[in-house]
Chain A
Amino acid sequence: MKVDEAPNPLAEGLHDYRIADPAVMVIFGATGDLSGRKLLPALYNLAKQRSLPAGFAVVGAAMNELSDDDFRKHASDKIHEFSRTQPIDGRVLDAFLSSVSYVKVDFGQLDDFKTLAKKLQQLDDANHVPGNRIFYCATPPPTYQTIALQLQASGLNKGEGYHRIVVEKPFGSDLQSARELTQTLQKVFAEDSVYRIDHYLGKETVQNILAFRFANSIFEPVWNTNLIDSVQITVAEEIGIEQRGAYYDRAGALRDIIQNHGLQLVTLTAMEPPLAFEAGAVRDEKVKVLRSIRPLIGEDIEQSTVRGQYAAGWVLGEQVVGYRDEQNVAPDSQTETFAALRLFVDNWRWAGVPFYIRAGKRMPKRVTEIRIQFKRPPHLTFGREAMKEVDPNAITLRIQPEEGISLKFGAKVPSAGLRIRSVTMDFEYVTSFLVEAPEAYERLLLDCMIGDPTLFTRADEVEAAWTLVDPIENAWRNGRPPLGTYPAGSWGPDTAAQLLQGDGREWHRP
């Protein structure tokens, strides 16, 4: 191994300190909501943790006519408003802002990209940066392809150093559009330089699913069809669609949540142990799960899926309107705000184990959890009467809120007789560590700077997910199964309960 390929020996032992090379990050859509709420505060917090190296620079790029100072003022305001850590440290902020500049870029104007290129070259020269670039598309998805092609046309995708592009979900609206997007991005950048960000994977508790499964030896031996009866995944929100009516009415719960978050949770729950926690191995295993999921086609879709839309009702004590009365929603909208699926992962480990996924808006509360339901003991040693209050064992992985893990098991009730009752053993992150987890964007931005795509979505993963979802989406657009309704503040339409009742099961109430 040559010296310049070897690990940096001075970095050994610096726990949790991951060193990124100096680079320039260009934020397209720098004056927008994502940039202001998430990206700029995350970068400030990385600076505060000393994770931004000397020579790192941020260039805001947007349509607005702004000077560098105008943009710095904008960035400062957003950081003050949205930073996870408060109060803001003036000296850290000043140092960070000194590395921030702005270029007006109209995505349709090649000349603007050429101006941007000149600016980046100046920064490289001043900062001893060998051309490392990250292009972050904090812009609406329809602009991704335009930006990528303009980067190509202006030569910004080539040269010394690395050149990475970051795009936010959704990655297309169906299989065809996802493929088109991938083709364009891959025309301009190598696949390993495309970072598809789904901030969900940056959450500590989502990553902990892998730690729970693969850092402990006691769970894997029971994590299969021999002992597991079923898996339930719930992604529930108490909020409605807020200001996103125009987008949501085109997307619906299936595309907005199930296609990405829901299937991500399925893959993390069902995947085989990767060889190592590194990008290739982890993502290979996730894709294998997606490809092992039995496709729902024809009548399967009517029997194994449920869609619903919320009507007026009460949520957390507040009266709310029905979906069709929300702003920017068609009065006769057929868009689902609730989706539930029954899936089977057709492989050795999971043969015959149903995975029930549900996601919805205007549910009684905000909760995301994975429940692993175990089979009943093969023999009732203590008799039916003693066991009547005992549920089967279950492990619940709570993603949010109250992040933690619960194990449910039977224990003898203290009494002269022999009566067994279900009890839970709880692990809560907050009480075990009591330290604040970093924002998902801090983790993911640093991963991108370091060049670690483990927590980003690969093209084949995106396509595999759309391959599963597209037939369902098409059937739903044709009214199969019919759209049910549910009162806001409930757990979905009656057909959702019936989906499990038909299997002799019921939804766990989170």
Chain B
Amino acid sequence: MRIYALHLAVVAALFAVQFALPAYHYGNVTRIMLYAVFAIGYNILFGYTGLLSLGHALFFAAGAYGAGLTAHWWSFGPVAALGAGVGAALLVSLVTGLIVYRTTGVAFLIVTLMLAQAAFLSTLYFNTVTLGDQGIVLSLPPVELFGAALHLADPAVKYNASLVAFAVALLLSLWLLRSPFGRVLIAIRENEARTRLLGYNTALYRFAALVISGTLSGLAGALYCLLFGYVGSSFASLQYSTLPLLWTLLGGTGVTLGPPLGTAITHYLIDISSGLTSSYMIIVGVALVAITLWFPEGLAGWFRRWRRVRS
């Protein structure tokens, strides 16, 4: 129960801190929480199951385009568009899961990369629908909740909607990790052949992990699109496939709080260094190499090991 209390404390702290944050950091934390949902989704596949994907932009973009296109072309309201975005990500995850059903290791990495690149090029090719690189700027009606009209452009609405998504993703991820299903995923990560020998249909578990991971990533994409009112082909680019990998590695794979921590550090590292120089990616790169060298298990992973050794 202590571990659930810790996670709930993190959520409570994020709720409380909104009343003290300056406007600039308010927006930053909002983005970090949304990206953290993406990272948490990625961690289910990479951190728990041990499958390295280089194509998670596919799911993020599926969610973003599912929400953005339905809102733009069919005038879906924010809630319906969110449902469409998550539904699109679920569908894309299911199809991708079937395509990569038997693949692991390098083959999995290559197939996911290729599928994401195909999706990226599709967003450019079908530019009459997606508006390509330029993207779609959304103008959405407010959401009616308990008689109140919530405007998505309102920073407080953005913050709290992101917080709800973050809390759901974090607690779901923790519950999943500690469930029998999660234990099997960890067993697969440790040794898939050994797990199969115990009688588990490991391909089916991998498939389920990918669908959950992809759908959570799609939720992040759909919310990002709706809360910031934009979707463009950059959401499907390679950068959005490498970022969650970076966040997860930095924060700690297989640790529920690791990816959100990695997301926050990376976000602020880029934010601060880009204010110092236009070559900020060099600073970011050096800092990340240093952290990877000294904390190969990620920061949260290092902290967990330090506590174990201490106890």
A binds B: no
Q: A: which residues have CB within 8 A of B?
A: none
Q: B: which residues have CB within 8 A of A?
A: none
